[in-house]
Structure 1
C-alpha cells in the first residue's frame, strides 16, 4: 500500500473518531440565568429596579432541582466615572450582600472587577446610551456533570444544539 494511501486512510479514521466524539457533545445545553444592572453614574447603591432584576434571576435559578447556585458578579465602572476602583468595590460588595440576603451562599459567589470603556455602552430603544455596570451570571453547581439537567422537564435550558 502506498504511503499516500495510508496517510489518507489515517486521516479518514481520525476524522470519524473526532466526529464520534463531537457527536456526544452535540446534545449539550446551556443552563443559566443573568441579571444586567445599570446604576446611576458615580453611585454604588442598588436601586429597587436593580434588586428586582437580581431577585427575578435568583427565583428562576432556585427552580433548578438538586443543585447549588453559583453567582459570578462582574462589577465594573466606566472610565468616565469618578474613583472607579471605589465604585467597582462598592458595587461588588452591595450585590454580594444582596445575593446573600436572597440565600446564595457566600462561598458560591465569585467577583470579577472590570473597567468599561465607551465602546461598551449599549443603546436603549429610544437611542439614549445605557451604562450597565454590573452583570450577575447564575450557574448550577452539580455533583459531577450537569448534563442530566438538559432533559429534566423542570429545567428550561437557554440553548440546545439540535441534531438533524
Structure 2
C-alpha cells in the first residue's frame, strides 16, 4: 500500500513539474463555461463587440487594439457571409485541466460548432484557451483556430505556456 501511495505522489510531482497544475475548481469551471457561453451566444447573434469583451487583452493588442480587433471580426464575418457560411449551432464546451502558464493560469476548452456552407453541413471541432492572471478571478479567451499553424502567436501571448502540452487538432467533418 505504501508503494502505491509513493507512486501516486511521484506522479503528481511529475505532472506539476511539467506545468500541469491541477484539475479545475468548480468555481473556475463555472467561470470558464460562462465566458465561453458568452462567445457561443455572441457568435450566433454575430455580435463581435460581445466577443471582444471576453477576448484576452494581449490578443487584441496584436490586432492593434479593441477597435481593430472588432473591425477584423466584422470583416471576417462579412467574408464568411459572402461565401455562404452560416453558423447553425454550437455544443456546450468541455474545459480541460488547469495549466500553469507563468503569471497566468490557462485551460484548453474543446468546442464544437455546426456550420452550413451553401448546401453542405460541417461539424467544426476546435478549441479556445481560457486565461486568467494568477491572483485574479476574471477569465478571458484566446481563439485557437490559428494557434496550431502559428505557435509563435501563443508563445508571444503566453511565453510560459507549458511547452510539453500538445494543443488539440482542429477537425472539420462533412455531415451532409
TM-score (norm. length: structure 1)? 0.28
Whichever structure has more strand as a proportion of its residues is 2
TM-score (norm. length: structure 2)? 0.27
